[in-house]
Amino acid sequence: MKIVVGLGNPGAQYEKTRHNVGWMVLDRLADRAGWSGRGRTRDASAVVQGRFNGLDLVLVKPLTFMNESGLAVRKVLARERAPLAELLVVADDFALPFGKLRFREGGSAGGHNGLRSIIDELGNEQFSRLRVGIGEPGGDAIDHVLSQFGRGEKVRLSELLDAAADAVEAWARTGTNKAANHFNAFELRPDDAERSAPPGAVDGPPGLDGIRRTKTGWRKPKPPEAGE
């Protein structure tokens, strides 16, 4: 059983913010598995679990606020009687450019309050994490992480979530080191205004059918939601 924790803040006002990209990645995984709407609330988390593509997964979104994420993670690990080797935490990282992915097998919180809470609660830094780049703040860091993605970023956000979901699946199958060898080199396609590749080429614009070719496969981006 692999436990994947996506970090975020509860509440509609935080739903689409950069700090909640961990939740967004888990939502993408749940969509793939057909588990959307099937979760239940327990141990201060929204939890859904099952078997998907040969993987036994527990997807966990702590319902505590970010700086108390460790309380929920400790409870889930205790319930599942899972060792830290079976845990992956997905979190945002403003030290990474928007669209970059970075696996680490341990280490400090790096200034992230959710990771700091988990480390403090578990008394251990030795768990895997997948950091998802949300771009550097132009001003105050708190304002940045609690802001929504910019217009050009929203166009590419679905592709980033697909790549991050692919990365989580790779971690569950092959472990952190092998997943890192592949996905730490991942680069999101350039902004539409910066692209020069023709339709059908890797990182080019979508064809007439709306399907775009990316480094990790063929994707048909989801249309933006109302108000985006």
| Residues noted as catalytic | 19
109: how many CB neighbours lie within 10 A of its CB?
16
State both tokens at 89: 């935490």
| 91 and 130 Cβ atoms separated by less than 8 Å | yes
Eight-state DSSP code of residue 88:
E
Q: What CA–CA distances, in Å, run from 84 to 19, 124, 157, 192?
A: 24, 9, 30, 40
| 97 and 64 Cβ atoms separated by less than 8 Å | no
Q: Which of 89, 90, 62, 57 is nearest to 75 (CA)?
A: 62
108: how many CB neighbours lie within 10 A of its CB?
11
| 144 and 21 Cβ atoms separated by less than 8 Å | no
Whole-number Å distance between alpha carbons of 78 and 74: 6
